[in-house]
Amino acid sequence: MANSILTNSGAATALQNANAIERNRDVLGRQQATGKRVNNAVDNASAFTIGQILQGDLKSFGAVEQGIDNARGVLAVTNAAATAASEQLANLNATVIAGQNPGNTSEQQAIINADFQAQVAQLNQTIQNASFNGRNLLSAGSTSLNVLANIDGTTLTVQSASGFATQTANLGAQSLATPAAAAQAFSALQQTQAGLASVLGNVGADTRTLNNQSQFLSILNDATAEGLGAIVDADLGQTAVRSQAEAARGQLSNLTLNIANRQPQSILGLFR
């Protein structure tokens, strides 16, 4: 194009470059301020959408983990109560055996029987106290606890131990008033001990299952967070280098624009 004071192509080009550089610097500044290269759908619609889905998954993992923690709390209380019940049954075992002694006087038999009833009452109290957040797996009529295991809706089942309360009730119906009655109570005691052994086994197995699932969720959560970072996080080291480069380009662009703006002045010199 011929020289003109009305149209300055060089200045227009330099201005376009300056504006482009300024936009790049704005983007880089936003990335440095937020730590993300994708802050909204304008930056990258598909990456932003995927990132939002992954952020939802991360929040969902937290909700699932909360449910598992609650179930682990229920099992921890159940385990503590069952362990205490095991010690109480061991004491009851000694009492029931003492009640079978045919050499006991009536007074001795009465004392042993009263001790037996008191220990059974204490055992029942232990069962009643085995409650966490409103759930008691040892109580009569309790149901199994279903726990959300993953964000896909799969569940795990924590087994109820209500059968132990039934066995304990049967034991409480016994008497050590006579050695013969004590022999019958000993049979009920053995059934209760066998039931408690099953309870402890189930509690241990269910606790290990929940612990393993919690560890697996932690791995999934970390992997998801890493994937989200790869999609939306900015490389701050690279961003810093690019910011310095854009700053240098901006200075050159301004210098170029100043030179281009002087062109009409040189044209005017031809008329002097």
pLDDT per position in the chain (272 positions), as tens?
A: 455 555 666 666 766 776 777 666 666 566 666 667 677 777 788 888 888 888 898 999 999 999 999 999 999 999 999 999 999 999 999 999 999 999 999 999 999 999 999 999 999 999 999 999 999 999 999 999 999 999 999 999 999 999 999 999 999 999 999 999 999 999 999 999 999 999 999 999 999 999 999 999 999 999 998 888 878 766 556 656 666 666 666 666 667 767 766 666 665 565 55
CA dist., res. 255 & res. 41, Å (int) = 35
pLDDT value at position 187? 96
CA dist., res. 161 & res. 140, Å (int) = 8
Q: Would you say 243 and 32 are in contact if contact means Cβ atoms under 8 Å apart?
A: yes
pLDDT value at position 183? 95
CA dist., res. 196 & res. 66, Å (int) = 29
pLDDT value at position 23? 66
pLDDT value at position 225? 86
pLDDT value at position 205? 96
pTM across the whole model: 0.74
- What letter does residue 132 receive in the DSSP assignment? B
Q: Is residue 213 within a helix (H) or strand (E), and if so which, with residue range?
A: helix 179-232
Exposure of 109 by Cβ count < 10 A (0-12 exposed, 13-18 middle, 19+ buried)? buried
CA dist., res. 10 & res. 1, Å (int) = 11
pLDDT value at position 206? 96
- What letter does residue 37 receive in the DSSP assignment? S
